[in-house]
């Protein structure tokens, strides 16, 4: 790996700035961890090029990818459940029989913090190798105060202790209201009380959660229960998100929007009123084509309505052991187009600018002067190619916080 250099210069590149393509010949100058200049190559001055390390010409530069919805920390795997579903068993049916999320809960509870860290590292490495510079990681497979905090600590450690060897920004989300643990099988409200009165305060006190998520669904929690979680999050100064309208339309996305949610995710069953509520609140619609594919869902998310109402669309892997055991963000660009008919431009914006917005981050996910230099340099001629072909090996350079981390 080359020695860190304070000024890095790319010339004659095509830029995808997070929203649109700026055709070659463009230039990007990175200095002190930030994007110091973005201009036509011909507009570079001697002061720009003096003492700058020449990082090469050609190719496409995008913001570092932002994977804004993952469940990367978990114990075990669900290969057996995958096989059962192929034989016809339903996702909800398996969950109701105590499998699904709860089987991962058993394996995650049984694992130590170090074991979870070791299990997660290769998955995170796969995301990083595919261009991710910011990743959100949820808890939700612990479902006790101690086990949820354990998961969040693992997520935090992945972003800190490994710094340098795994250069990636981790954003953590407490998803205590993911499934009902067996200890509370007759007392959903009691479990929600635990989430609100103990889990959220503990995670907030230790600074372990950047946001709070819920699973609003028949097999999980009702809108009224989710609302109690949102209120508790607000009392602790935490923004909220929701898994909503994944299997049915309960109005979870609109509820989340009314609580100022950063995003509502999945949303295949979202109706026009829900889209309208999200538009009003500026809530991002995070589409998860990996879960749609894996669960062989047929209800498409309301992409046309989202466009009409101007709701920003993010795309994420939803990387998890059950509904989306897919750890390849660039595959999601393709699936978002092939399955949801997003344009390649929309898909790329979904994994850059809008992904960052879904995490409440204003300093990454876009290429503009003054922002953090989190960048990917790709061996392709046009940004569209990134969504068109599913082809590992095209990431030429990866820049995290202004430093080359892959060359």
CB of 276 to ligand NIG, least distance (A): 23
**173 or 401: whose CB is closer to ligand NIG?**
173
Q: Round the CA-based radius of gyration of the chain to a whole number and report it.
A: 21
215 binds, among Fe ion, ligand NIG, none (CB under 5 to 8 A by kind): ligand NIG
34 is in an annotated binding site: no
Which of 321, 325, 350, 365 touches ligand NIG by CB under 6 A?
A: 321
78 is in an annotated binding site: yes
CB of 134 to ligand NIG, least distance (A): 18
Q: Residue 352 in contact with residue 316, Cβ under 8 Å?
A: no
**274 or 383: whose CB is closer to ligand NIG?**
274
Stretch that binds Fe ion, among 46-54, 195-203, 317-325, 371-379 (CB under 5 A): 317-325
Q: Residue 293 in contact with residue 271, Cβ under 8 Å?
A: no
Q: What is the DSSP letter of 47?
A: H
Going by their DSSP bridges, the two strands 60-63 and 7-16 should be labelled as parallel
Q: Where are the beta strands (DSSP E) in 248-344?
A: 263-266, 284-287, 313-315
Q: Where are the beta strands (DSSP E) in 139-248?
A: 169-177, 211-216, 239-244
CB of 55 to ligand NIG, least distance (A): 37
Structure tokens at 403: 């430093």
Report if residue 264 touches ligand NIG, rule: CB under 6 A. no
Which 197-216 residues touch ligand NIG, going by CB under 6 A? 215
**173 or 384: whose CB is closer to ligand NIG?**
173
Q: What is the DSSP letter of 8?
A: E
d(CA 319, CA 326): 6
Report if residue 100 touches ligand NIG, rule: CB under 6 A. yes
**191 or 215: whose CB is closer to ligand NIG?**
215
Report if residue 246 touches ligand NIG, rule: CB under 6 A. yes
Which of 136, 245, 318, 346 touches Fe ion by CB under 5 A?
A: 318
Q: Residue 320 in contact with residue 71, Cβ under 8 Å?
A: yes
Report if residue 71 touches ligand NIG, rule: CB under 6 A. yes
Q: Nearest to residue 170, comparing CAs of 77, 235, 73, 264?
A: 73
Which of 322, 325, 329, 402 touches ligand NIG by CB under 6 A?
A: 322
**133 or 324: whose CB is closer to ligand NIG?**
324
CB of 198 to ligand NIG, least distance (A): 22
Compute how many other C-beta atoms are within 10 angstroms of the C-beta atom of residue 163.
12
Number of chain residues interacting with ligand NIG (CB under 6 A)? 13
Report if residue 169 touches ligand NIG, rule: CB under 6 A. no
Compute how many other C-beta atoms are within 10 angstroms of the C-beta atom of residue 397.
19
d(CA 193, CA 44): 59
Q: Is 12 exposed, middle or buried (0-12, 13-18, 19+ CB in 10 A)?
A: middle
178 is in an annotated binding site: yes
320 is in an annotated binding site: yes
Q: Is 176 exposed, middle or buried (0-12, 13-18, 19+ CB in 10 A)?
A: buried
C-alpha angle 350-352-355 in degrees, rounded to nearest 5: 60
**169 or 243: whose CB is closer to ligand NIG?**
243
123 is in an annotated binding site: no
**130 or 318: whose CB is closer to Fe ion?**
318
71 is in an annotated binding site: yes
The binding site for Zn(2+) consists of: 69, 71, 243, 318
Residues forming contacts to ligand NIG in the complex (CB under 6 A) are 71, 100-101, 104, 215, 243, 246, 291, 318, 320-323
Binding site for 4-imidazolone-5-propanoate: which residues? 78, 141, 178, 246, 323
């Amino acid at each position: 790996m080359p020695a860190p250099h304070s000024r890095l210069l790319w010339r004659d590149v095509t830029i995808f700035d997070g929203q649109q393509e700026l055709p070659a010949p463009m230039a990007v100058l990175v200095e002190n961890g930030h994007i110091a200049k973005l201009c036509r190559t011909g507009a570079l001055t001697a002061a720009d090029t003096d003492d700058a390390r020449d990082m090469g010409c050609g190719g496409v530069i995008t913001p570092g990818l932002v994977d804004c919805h993952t469940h990367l920390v978990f114990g075990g795997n669900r290969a057996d459940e995958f096989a059962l579903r192929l034989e016809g068993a339903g996702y909800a049916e398996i969950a109701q029989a105590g499998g699904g999320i709860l089987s991962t809960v058993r394996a995650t509870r049984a694992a130590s913090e170090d074991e979870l860290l070791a299990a997660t590292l290769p998955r995170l490495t796969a995301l990083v190798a595919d261009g991710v510079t910011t990743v959100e990681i949820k808890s939700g497979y612990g479902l006790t105060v101690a086990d949820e905090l354990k998961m969040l600590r693992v997520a935090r450690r992945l972003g800190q202790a490994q710094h340098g060897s795994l250069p990636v920004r981790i954003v953590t989300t407490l998803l205590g209201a993911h499934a009902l643990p067996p200890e509370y099988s007759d007392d959903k409200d009691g479990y929600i009380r635990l989430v609100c009165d103990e889990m959220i305060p503990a995670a907030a006190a230790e600074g372990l959660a950047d946001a709070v998520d819920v699973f609003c669904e028949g097999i999980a929690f009702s809108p009224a229960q989710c609302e109690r979680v949102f209120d508790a999050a607000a009392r602790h100064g935490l923004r909220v998100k929701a898994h909503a309208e994944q299997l049915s339309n309960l109005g979870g996305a609109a509820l989340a929007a009314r609580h100022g949610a950063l995003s509502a995710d999945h949303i295949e069953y979202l109706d026009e009123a829900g889209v309208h509520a999200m538009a009003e609140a500026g809530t991002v619609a995070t589409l998860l084509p990996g879960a749609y594919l894996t669960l062989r869902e047929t209800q498409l998310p309301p992409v046309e309505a989202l466009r009409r109402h101007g709701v920003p669309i993010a795309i994420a892997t939803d990387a998890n052991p059950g509904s989306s055991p897919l750890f390849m963000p660039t595959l999601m660009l393709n699936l978002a187009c092939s399955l949801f008919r997003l344009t390649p431009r929309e898909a790329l914006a979904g994994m850059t600018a809008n992904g960052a917005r879904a995490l409440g981050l204003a300093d990454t996910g876009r290429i503009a002067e003054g922002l953090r230099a989190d960048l990917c340099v790709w061996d392709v001629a046009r940004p569209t190619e990134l969504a068109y072909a599913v082809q590992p090996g095209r990431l030429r350079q990866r820049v995290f916080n202004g430093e080359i981390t892959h060359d």
